[in-house]
Structure 1
Amino acid sequence: MTKKNLILLYGILFSMILSLSSCSSDDSSSSEDIPLSADIFQSVVGKKVAFQGLTNNAASWAWDFGDGTTSSEKNPVHVYSEGGYYTAKLTATSSDGSSVSKEVRLAIDLTPYILLTGGPTATNGKTWRLSSGHSDKDYFAYADAALTPFDGAPNPLPAGIFGVGLGLGEVYQDEFTFYFDGSYSHDVKADGASFSGLVFQLLTTGGANIVNPSSDQSFGLCTATYTPESDATFTYVENEDLTVSSVFGPGGSLTYSGVSTLDFSGTEFIGFMDFQRKVMVQEIKDNSMRLVMFMAAEPSAPGINTNGLVLTFEVVN
């Protein structure tokens, strides 16, 4: 190689070194010209999260993982002990003491129970109410093995049907809150009443508790007074065989195999007050869940389920 070519090669290499040096973060010799900044990149596998602090002109890094633990590493790996929603925070500090922070919201290993309750960091629980918009899978059913759609009822249910169609719009206001520790609270709002079965009220209170008998009583629905229990609890089971009374079942009962369920202490319930308080969970997502609630609507078969209400609940923000 000629002397002229060597000089050219050295010049190219020197230019590359200068270029690489100018692109580096945090340890650049000209860092005083780069504003302090911070961003977060993360990779999640199960409960393990690999964090990367993308910073400029930082001399130290302070991480708060949102679960009570911290780190001073620039690129830490953290394992959360429980799934849930967490806010991780990175504070980058420069050599002159100035600092900047960045946060990232994480959804870690979301089980159905965490989707229901909001997880361990949801100190106020997670609150749900009956969705007035309904979904394309909401309908009235028979309490048979297939939950067959009820003859004569719209399928799917149109938005706001309990208000516009039945004069029971207040049922969309009641709120039901689930806490990670198994506690449960129920807000019946200003009317002090809950969505209920007409036959249930006639058989248990002689109708004395009925507040609104509905403008169309052919569906057997009403609202009735209810006082929520203090210190109530709930039980969620992800997979079990649920046996309920049913006029369609041999011997007056049916079993739904391998379903998710919600059950409640005392007289508590969710959504609909009737003889059967344990309900079936068909689907649960971050912002919606669909339940099957049973109703005994035949006076000649007191307390035995005849129908099901397949309804969607939404999160109250």
Structure 2
Amino acid sequence: MKQILQKTQWLIVVFLIPLVFSCNKEESRPTFPLSAEIFHSADGKQVAFSGLTHSAVSWHWDFGDGNTSNEKDPVHIYDQGGYYLVTLTASDASGASVTKDVTLALDLTAYDLLVGDPTKEGYDGKTWKLSATHSPDDILANSDVNLSLFDEDIPSLPAGAFDLFLGLPEAYNDEFTFYQDGKYKHNTADGTSFGGIVYAIVMQQFGQTEITKTGGEDVLGQDAFAITKYEPDDNATFELQENTDYVLPSAFPTGMTPSGIPVVTYEDVTTIDFPGTDEFVGIRDFHQKVIIQNITDDSMRLVMFLTLSPDAIVSQNPLIALATNAVVLTFNVVK
């Protein structure tokens, strides 16, 4: 009987040893600190979010468009594309919290690409500058509906064209900044700007500018461009319109206005204009409105119009000049 009791006690000890170690192991299990990360996937303007958290018992999402959610893994549909700063606040049982955020770029429009991401820290608009290297698509054209080449022997503008062939390196100096709220800032760097010579001569006659330099005679047979003194408008704004028809007074008309002004219509284009101001982007001339031919996050190609013949001024009051030419130029983001 005594031997049976001893064996029973031994079995109990053997059985309890794993339990003791198991309890000790359970007691030493680490407690993870409160943490959060955001995972997301987008399909158009619909975004699925996941809050990857430790020790959290509640979640609060701010989607950056005025909408919120307390779900751990919400799905949100934005009304329109653009840049959004999404914030996740995760809290634990003690009330402590941690915050993470992520920036979304959804279905970006030409406007979004032009003005940049306003959610970035220190956002100060998006600044563009004429590319001195040019691209194969940069051309001097006629102001006809197809933007045909002005000179078949010049299929595209070579790198540094305005410097090397016109002697006007100042053409590449100006910087143009577009803001999300529609504000526009123009930095001339040296107090001058690049533009067409006919416009420069007319404005000089009106006492509104002063020509400091001209160029083009060696290549084009006559001076076609000019550097003029210019003071930017600190209160300027811009307007961007998509899918619009741009009706332009042109020496290559496709129609006439009721008052008899010949015009060309560029259908279904995206334009930038500067209403109520003398401001412009790229080239200073009679026609401030430009066409965005292409735009990405770091470059854009604009079509700007010029009047290169004084005979194309068809009215003095009001001043109406027919565009004779177009210049297609590439701009890059200033970083």
Shared fold by TM > 0.5?
yes
Query: Is the Cα contact below 8 Å between 2:103 and 2:119 reproduced in 1?
Result: no
Q: Give the aligned length.
A: 289
Cα deviation, residue 153, structure 1: 5.7
Q: Distance in 1 between matches of 2:212 and 2:152?
A: 26
Asked if 1:39 corresponds to 2:46, the answer is no
Instruction: Note if contact 2:292-2:300 (Cα within 8 Å) is conserved in structure 1.
Output: yes
2:165–2:219: 8 Å Cα contact kept in structure 1? no
1:292 aligns with 303
Matched letter for residue 199 of structure 1: V
Structure 1 CA distance, aligned partners of 2:169 and 2:193? Answer: 11
- Given residue 246 of structure 1, which amino acid in structure 2 is its aligned partner? S
1:16-57 alpha-carbon deviations (Å, 9 max, x no partner): xxxxxxxxxxxx998726576543221223433221022345
CA distance in 2, matches of 1:199, 1:294: 12
Q: Following the alignment from structure 1 to structure 2, what is the Cα–Cα distance between the partners of residues 67 and 170?
A: 42
- State whether structure 2 residue 137 is matched by structure 1 residue 137: yes
State the Cα deviation string for residues 107-158 of structure 1 (Å, max 9, x = none).
Answer: 0231222222236647522222212232221111011221111216633222
- Provide the residue aligned with 1:187 in structure 2: 187
Q: Within 5 A, what are the aligned runs for 1:75-114?
A: 75-80=73-78, 82-90=80-88, 92=90, 102-114=100-112
Consecutive unaligned residues of structure 1, counting only runs of 5 or more, are 1-27
Q: Secondary structure at the match of 1:205?
A: helix
**Aligned residue identity for 1:159:** A
**Mapping 1:14-29, distance limit 5 Å:** none
Alignment TM-score, normalising by the size of structure 2: 0.74
Structure number with bigger Rg: 2
How far does the alpha carbon of each residue in 1:236-294 deviate from its partner, in whole angstroms, 9 at most, with x for none? 11122212122222663222222221111221111111111111221222222211111
Give the TM-score taking structure 1 as reference length.
0.77
Contact 2:85 2:119 (C-alpha < 8 Å) held by counterparts: no
- Aligned partners of 1:211 and 1:291: how far apart in 2? 26
Deviation of 1:224 (Å):
1.0
2:234 corresponding residue in structure 1: 230
Answer yes or no: is the 8 Å Cα contact 1:84–1:120 preserved in 2. Answer: no
- Which residue of structure 2 aligns with residue 316 of structure 1? 334
Bigger shift: residues 165-174 or 98-107: 98-107
Find 2:322's aligned residue among 294, 301, 304. Answer: 304
Question: In structure 1, what is the Cα distance between the partners aligned to 2:284 and 2:97?
Answer: 55
Q: Which runs of 5+ in 2 are unaligned?
A: 1-25, 257-261, 314-320
Closer, same or farther: CA 93–183 of 1 in aligned 2, 3 Å? same
How far does residue 212 in structure 1 lie from its aligned partner after superposition?
2.5
**Using a 3 Å threshold, how does the CA distance of structure 1 residues 144 and 31 change in structure 2: closer, same or farther?**
farther
For residues 132 and 168 of structure 1, the distance between their equivalents in structure 2, rounded to whole angstroms, comes to: 11
Which stretch of structure 1 is more off in the superposition, 94-103 or 73-82? 94-103
Tell me, what secondary structure is at the counterpart of 2:200? helix
The answer to whether the aligner puts 1:269 opposite 2:273 as a matched pair is no
CA deviation after TM superposition for structure 1 residue 97, in Å: 8.0
